[in-house]
Structure 1
Amino acid sequence: MFYIPEVLMNDVLLKLPVKSLLRFRSVKKSWRDLIDNPDFIKMHMDRSMKMGSSTVEVIHRCNLNKFYSMHLDLSGNPIRDPEELPHPFGYRYDHDKSVVYTGEYEIHLVGSCNGLVCFVDSAHRIILWNLATRKYFELQHLDMELPRFIDLDLTYYFNYGFGYDGATDDYKVIRFINSYNNKSDCFLVELYSLKSKSWKRFEDLVSTTRSDHYGILVGGSLHWLMYETKWDDDESPIVAFDLTKEEFNLVPCLHLPGKIASMNLGTFQGCLCLFCHYHEAGGELWVMKDYGIKESWTKVYTNNRTSVRYMRAIDHSILEVNKTRLLWYNSLQENCLKKIKICCATKGCLEACVHYESLVGIDLMGL
């Protein structure tokens, strides 16, 4: 029988895609133990991220509860038709093999990190899901007494963020709870650790923070825009939560002349970026090339179209525009933007993220 040295076999397996590794887990127990080993999973993920890929996978929402996965080549062309995702919130296959959602709530895409995708529904159920392995985990509800400032007769605003803490090798979900009516600065923050499978609660850490996007992960911190902060204030409108230190801080932001109608955060080639939409017309995309350094904010794109009132960079080469369509750019020149063919998105419902396959969470529940 032909013998392959263990070191060589490990090296070969590290180079294989996730779907092949999932099949090879059934070959023999030693392979299964290796592929399921946390060190192997991390090495495989790090190698995949470093080597890159000839394709980009994008997860997007097309209406209140339907999600699709699509693969694009490095020019933004679809490799195959978008595939509807049978997400773990409840579904069944119809007679024509389409996916039918069996729940009653609106579902949102919080974000994707190292192969895990975070979803939340309007009943505040939170699920972490690995699309490649079809494994998922639903976070248990936080069973703690509500603080005294919470008034159950008021309407509350929730916001979320999801990211990876490299210092502790842990995945964390953060949730803000604040009232639309409560003018007090009292504000609730809850943090979930996947490693400990437990919640912790912070109170009065920052003043009111609202945003129309979920936390943007850059450099081990999640980022939001503070809704009430005026553009002319000395205080930066960008607040960051350090996932390792578990503390908030302000990120220095640029100040621009002109009347700004709205701002949106995103990521561009691993950097924090900000799209500013002006009342007059169009907008500008700025990138913080050296994280934390105010002077490193650099304008990389100007859009003069009056119809573009919202834009968010979704890493790689993808822009989400007006929450209805996705555009691909090879360079940040207006005439190089190319529309990505996606399933029709209901107005205001489009949410999208770039997703990378991994073996993370292989010990979670199966779908």
Structure 2
Amino acid sequence: MNSDLLSKILLCLSLPFQSLLRLRVVCKFWRDVIDSPDFKKLHTLTKADDPVHIQVSFLNVVPNQLSIRFQHNMKLLMSCRSDHFNGFSLYYGRSDYLVRLVGEVKGLIGINPTGVNVPVAICNPYLGQLKFLPLTTSSDSLCVLVERSVAIGFDEDYKVAQLMWCYKHRGLHAQLYSRRTDSWRELADGGILDDLTLYSIQPIKSACKNGSFAYWRVNQRVNGDIVPKILSLDMRKEVFRTITLPSGHTGTSSIFVEDEHSFRMFEFMNNRTIIFYSRCEGRQVMWKQTMGEKLPSDVPSWSTSFVFLEHEGFEVAYDYRARELICKLSEDFLGPKVVEFRATLISP
């Protein structure tokens, strides 16, 4: 049996990730076929495992080092410790003020320290692999970059986009990393990024796992006023656009992306929920409003399709398949971060 025939058989069987890992140890020939770039690419395009939820713990047991541990069902998937995070410390036992997780896209999770002097890392916890990306500087040597926000995308191979705020120009730079070149390059912004300010630039979580689009919540200058909007980046065409949020919201809402033109935005007032949801009419995104129920505060047994949405002072677990808010977690919830994950064979 040659490698092409074995590859076709394995792909036709549509085997889940864990089964492929077991088949890798059958013999060296099978391992080489499964580890080949062509097989990994085809398996990623044809097979999507059901999501699982992994726990991510940040530890700071050694001065000037940050340890990160990934677990699933109490089983250790991956643990790493690096002095790349030199100078970073935990804040009241939590690290998300300094290090944020981004993704997951195609089985990859991004580790994004907010400081621009610390490299972004990309990891595949199930393969136990982690890679630090090269540090970046602006093409303008006079720019002073002070903060960034990162998102992962996919187009044949993974890409990493970062928005960086420049103190000199008081505006945003956009850069894109490609694994093919192992380098960053500036993205043309078409004038959009010139009007965006530093405040509240946060990545938005999404149910779209193909990595074609990345989303941030931003503020834009409009006729002298600061207006909250959604910024989207088409990772394939490398084009930005902004999406207007509904009028009447408080500006402190949580947003979730259902697909390219479908969003849900949650306002929390007096422990009740106001939900804005979008519908697309051509290229125009229209918004409707509905009143939600009171948020439960008890932590239930988790479903297979939930994410945590960050809000001011607390987090909310949201089941995006059932379109239900599961529970509310207070700010002093110091347990491990929970990340939805679909295992793949893609290496960072």
TM-score, normalized by the shorter chain, greater than 0.5? yes
> Partner amino acid for 2:80?
H
2:118 matched to which residue of 1?
Answer: 124
Q: Percent same amino acid among aligned pairs?
A: 19
Query: What are the Cα deviations for residues 121-159 of structure 1, in whole angstroms up to 9, with x where unaligned?
Result: 3442111111111122211123665443x248xxx2221
CA contact (8 A) 1:67 1:84 kept: no
Whole-angstrom distance in 1 between the partners of 2:59 and 2:282: 36
CA contact (8 A) 2:3 2:33 kept: no
CA separation of 1:202 and 1:26: change in aligned 2, threshold 3 A: same
- Tell me whether 1:35 sits opposite 2:34 in the alignment: yes
- Following superposition, the deviation at residue 208 of structure 1 comes to 2.3
Structure 2 length as normaliser, TM-score? 0.70
CA contact (8 A) 2:254 2:309 kept: no
1:22 matched to which residue of 2?
Answer: 21
- Tell me whether 1:318 sits opposite 2:307 in the alignment: yes
CA contact (8 A) 1:282 1:306 kept: no
- Following superposition, the deviation at residue 108 of structure 1 comes to 2.0
CA separation of 1:67 and 1:327: change in aligned 2, threshold 3 A: farther
Query: What are the Cα deviations for residues 306-333 of structure 1, in whole angstroms up to 9, with x where unaligned?
Result: 99xxxxxx99333435465553547445
After superposition, residues 141-180 of structure 1 pair within 5 angstroms as 141-142=135-136, 146-148=140-142, 150-151=143-144, 156-165=146-155, 169-179=156-166
Whole-angstrom distance in 2 between the partners of 1:16 and 1:141: 37
- Following superposition, the deviation at residue 193 of structure 1 comes to 0.7
1:237 matched to which residue of 2?
Answer: 229
- Tell me whether 1:256 sits opposite 2:244 in the alignment: no
1:11 matched to which residue of 2?
Answer: 9
2:94 matched to which residue of 1?
Answer: none
Whole-angstrom distance in 2 between the partners of 1:196 and 1:236: 35
CA separation of 1:327 and 1:242: change in aligned 2, threshold 3 A: closer
Partner-residue secondary structure (3-state), 2:309 = strand
> Partner amino acid for 2:35?
D
CA separation of 1:235 and 1:265: change in aligned 2, threshold 3 A: same
CA contact (8 A) 1:117 1:130 kept: yes
CA separation of 1:271 and 1:35: change in aligned 2, threshold 3 A: farther
Query: What are the Cα deviations for residues 143-190 of structure 1, in whole angstroms up to 9, with x where unaligned?
Result: 665443x248xxx2221111112xxx12111222214x65x4543222
Whole-angstrom distance in 1 between the partners of 2:83 and 2:165: 29
CA contact (8 A) 1:263 1:277 kept: yes
> Partner amino acid for 2:133?
L
- Tell me whether 1:201 sits opposite 2:193 in the alignment: no
- Following superposition, the deviation at residue 35 of structure 1 comes to 0.7
- Following superposition, the deviation at residue 357 of structure 1 comes to 0.4
Whole-angstrom distance in 2 between the partners of 1:190 and 1:56: 31
CA separation of 1:209 and 1:83: change in aligned 2, threshold 3 A: farther
> Partner amino acid for 2:307?
I
Aligned length: 317
Which ranges of structure 2 fall in alignment gaps of 5 or more residues?
61-65, 90-97, 298-302
Whole-angstrom distance in 1 between the partners of 2:214 and 2:293: 27
> Partner amino acid for 2:181?
S
Which structure's residues are more often strand, by fraction? 2
Partner-residue secondary structure (3-state), 1:125 = coil
- Following superposition, the deviation at residue 36 of structure 1 comes to 1.9
> Partner amino acid for 1:250?
T
1:311 matched to which residue of 2?
Answer: none
Whole-angstrom distance in 1 between the partners of 2:81 and 2:282: 38
- Following superposition, the deviation at residue 360 of structure 1 comes to 0.5
CA separation of 1:46 and 1:249: change in aligned 2, threshold 3 A: same
Q: CA RMSD in A?
A: 4.5
After superposition, residues 275-314 of structure 1 pair within 5 angstroms as 275-277=265-267, 282-288=272-278, 290=280, 293-295=283-285, 297=287, 299=289, 302-304=292-294
- Following superposition, the deviation at residue 269 of structure 1 comes to 7.2
- Tell me whether 1:133 sits opposite 2:133 in the alignment: no
Partner-residue secondary structure (3-state), 1:213 = strand
- Following superposition, the deviation at residue 283 of structure 1 comes to 3.8
Partner-residue secondary structure (3-state), 1:244 = coil
2:202 matched to which residue of 1?
Answer: 213
CA separation of 1:62 and 1:301: change in aligned 2, threshold 3 A: farther
- Following superposition, the deviation at residue 16 of structure 1 comes to 3.2
CA separation of 1:274 and 1:9: change in aligned 2, threshold 3 A: closer
